[in-house]
Chain A
């Protein structure tokens, strides 16, 4: 798993550099790890899919395919929103944590944070 940890660590190193510039949220222990809020993504995604599923159908131009396009928009919004919601809710209150190998712990500790 060493190579795995190394590869993902390299990727997350890039991710680390990317958001270092965004400075939002609290900074602790010298490493810029931020807490994820639950409300912000909820509001954002609900707004986005609401836009797609509720607002966009009003702007579909009149034509023979209007009904089909509206159906597609609404179905897409419902399906995708529901799927994302399930994913985030399942992780909101975890009952147990990940079990990592000691090599992974060693790399992640010093490379991600």
Chain B
């Protein structure tokens, strides 16, 4: 089983890297993802580290890439993912990438700027053209015959005086033409009239096509105005007012010919500008193409480079400044692979001296590494969510693969619901490689998808427990014929039809021969689902079942502790901790399990009136009293129980004092050897700095160290050991009682689930069967829809999550606190994970 049973052996190692090939060595190691690097310069700030210049360069390049990506996005293109994963670039390549990216960014900036200015000019020219064209309507001579009729303007005043008439007047008519925002037209008009008192004639007409507003970018239908006025001062006033209103004013030529000239000139300009703009757009597209092609690779390369330099920053230089030393946590079985990688990288970078790795001894607790595949990863993650296993302690995950879905299924037992859950998980598992499922962004979906194997097993076990509970969407199935014979009872008690009519409910008596014909071979008898007192029977059955399964589960947890004691060579704990614990558990609660089974086997309907109550016996056992009305289950019960209670009580002080006394005695015996040992340890201190591992709430230093190698490595306080052991004893003994009761939630939740599904059936689905005609068939469709939706929402999702949570709690607390410490930290190897780029 190797890795899943307990975590792998991890050792501390030192890498000796030559400066020239350090970069390629780290790159090779990163590609393989084997080692976790430790920071050898923790007191150095990030700005003073060795390779800070390179890191800064990478960050600048990343800034350029961000700009390029923004430009791509603005143009509506999405940069695709990198097809294959390129390796980190060497210095020359990196320089080239930097130059190219900056050059492209520069080009992009220039091109976008020129495009913006071209567009602005084009817009101006077109506006001027429109102004002139519309202005023609008011100021030109009547249209020559054959020209197309002009459309009538929207807001037309009386036609302005024809300038050809102006020679008849003393004053000269001038024009102001321009473009104004449509919302400001009325205000403009009013102000003009008030300011100039009728010495002008203004006309407004909408532009035939909408144009972009340079400020906001919206497309607006501008309004062209043409104001004819006489008098210089009026002209100035008008210009000031139009400035105020942010109008674009154009020069309006006075004579007809100059106007037509201007129009033709403007046409020419528009032509030129359009051509230039097209060329610019084409060039921009080319630049964007180049960017889109190169950007993904560059991003990956630069990200890898930055990661490598960050790791190199953690290494320290040796005295001769030629060699980099890195401290790593390395799984022992990967050491040869690491050596291989170093050799390859040295060869590639062309250095003559090889880099090598050397294992160093350490007193620190190494990180935990448990290798999982796609199936076991889900189960390992729910164990890790509570606490990562301490180094090389027994891992509860391989057992949780089955016990967790099983305990879930006890609370969820229903064939129909289990089948739905199983099919849902099966779909996810069969299509797990499809990119559509894998790349979902919804977090809730991803949570379900990650746990697909878990849900698959939960569904499968729920089908099994559903068959045992004999529940399929709350209905019982009679696969085998029922064990209870109603006819025999009816014949025996002469239940005639009149007798039945007068008695609304009657009980079958198992004392009558032939009524009960042997236990139903697989599961609960289907007659109980028809009985009105079915809860009486089921509650008793489920409570006893919960207690039995709970005690078995906890006993298994205590037994797993044996593997820990043996592995860490703490054999004294076998006798001083495991033995009292198991005696306590079995003497009291193992005996309870025995009583339950004994009563099931020995007592039947014949003595149902005097059947003893296990609960009263159990309580009396603790209180050393007896109840006259409660008959003993077997002869000699009282002395047996007394012995068991005394045995259990005797094991408590052994558990409380055994280990501390043993350690104290050992310390006394090895007191002479202590000074020699501390000298040897003092040498190693500067090289290996202590690291505070993340402790869980329940663990103390004693646990962390006993999870390691020798417990007398540091100077331990006897009071602390004793206190810790006292807490452990109280926790264990009280915990046995309370945890056994806690397993009753198996009963409670399965009862809740059964009742909910029964309510759903009787209140919702059964109403669809009222009509037996065709109309009834049509009514059944929406009723079934409601039933299906409520089943999925309430029974599958809500009850499923609830049972999942309670199963999780039972594992984390009741099972794991019998043997699990969970004070470790995970090995996070340095690797270029594909998740880091989006």
Contact = CB atoms under 8 A, between A and B. Distances in A.
A88 interface: yes
B809 to A, nearest CB: 18
B486 A36 contact: no
Nearest to B497: A106
A20 to B, nearest CB: 10
Interface in B243-281: none
B767 to A, nearest CB: 10
A86 B552 contact: no
B549 interface: yes
B556 to A, nearest CB: 9
Given A37-B518, A109-B486, A98 B523 contact: no
Interface stretch (B303-311, B394-402, B682-690): B394-402
A36 B531 contact: no
Contacts of B491: 29
B509 to A, nearest CB: 6
Interface string A53-96: 00000000000111110111001100110111011111111111
A24 B103 CA distance: 91
A79 B464 CA distance: 11
A97 B373 contact: no
B505 A12 contact: no
Contacts of A34: 481, 517
Interface in B513-546: 514-534, 536-537, 540-541, 544-545
Contact of B604 (A8, A70, A84, A93): A93
A68 B4 contact: yes
B1 A95 contact: no
A36 B604 contact: no
Given A71-B398, A80-B464, A88-B519, A102 B605 contact: no
B486 A91 contact: no
A21 interface: no
Interface stretch (B134-142, B472-480, B666-674, B779-787): B472-480
Given A67-B5, A82-B549, A102-B500, A16 B481 contact: yes
A68 B5 CA distance: 8
B419 to A, nearest CB: 17
B468 A98 contact: no
Contact of B600 (A1, A16, A93, A113): A93
A109 B503 CA distance: 16
B520 A93 contact: no
B5 A84 contact: no
B487 A101 contact: no
Nearest to A86: B545
A35 B501 contact: no
A108 B746 CA distance: 32
B476 A8 contact: yes
Contacts of B402: 71-72, 75-76, 79
A3 B769 CA distance: 8
B611 A92 contact: no
Given A3-B766, A12-B482, A71-B402, 4 more contacts: A96-B533, A99-B508, A100-B530, A108-B486
